[in-house]
Homo-oligomer: A and B are copies of this chain.
Amino acid sequence: MTETNRVWRLRKRPVGDITDDVLSLENEAIPEPGEGEILFRLNYLSLDPTNRIWMSDMEQYMEPVALDAPMRGVVCGTVIKSNTPEFKEGDIVSGIGTWADYQIGSSASVGLLGDTGDVPVIDAFGTLALVGPTAYFCLLDIGDPKPGETVVVSTAAGAVGALVGQIAKIKGCRAVGLTGSDEKCQWITEELGYDVAINYKTQDVGKALAEACPNGIDVYYDNVGGKILDECLKLMNLHGRIPTCGLISQYNATEPVPGPYNYDLILMHRLKIQGFIILDYMDRYPEALEALSGWMKEGKLKARLDVTDGLENALQAVKKLYTGDNMGKLMVRVKDV
Contacts and interface: CB of A to CB of B under 8 A. Distances in A.
A247 B246 CA distance: 25
A80 interface: no
Interface string A247-279: 100100000111111111111111111111100
B225 A246 contact: no
A99 to B, nearest CB: 22
A225 B274 contact: no
Interface residues of A, number: 35
Interface in A82-131: none
B265 A271 contact: no
Given A59-B265, A264-B250, A274 B276 contact: no
A13 B267 CA distance: 21
The binding surface of chain A is classed by DSSP as: loop
A60 interface: yes
A230 to B, nearest CB: 8
Given A274-B272, A274-B273, A263 B267 contact: no
Contacts of A256: 261
Contacts of A59: 234, 264-265, 268
Contacts of A246: 267
Contacts of A247: 263-264, 267
Contact of A259 (B245, B259, B270, B271): B259
Copies in the complex: 2
Interface string A58-71: 11110000000000
A269 B225 contact: no
A9 to B, nearest CB: 24
Contacts of A270: 61, 274-277, 280
A269 B263 contact: no
A112 to B, nearest CB: 27
A186 to B, nearest CB: 30
Contacts of A245: 267
Contacts of A244: 266-267
A264 to B, nearest CB: 5
A225 B266 CA distance: 11
Contacts of A266: 244, 273-275
Nearest to A272: B274
Q: List the 5 shortest-distance A-B pairs measured between CB atoms, nearest first.
A: A259-B259, A258-B258, A259-B263, A267-B275, A270-B275
Interface of A: 58-61, 225, 234, 239, 244-247, 250, 256-277, 280
18 contacts: A58-B264, A59-B234, A60-B268, A61-B267, A225-B264, A244-B266, A250-B264, A256-B261, A257-B261, A258-B258, A259-B259, A259-B261, A260-B263, A265-B275, A266-B273, A267-B277, A269-B275, A270-B277
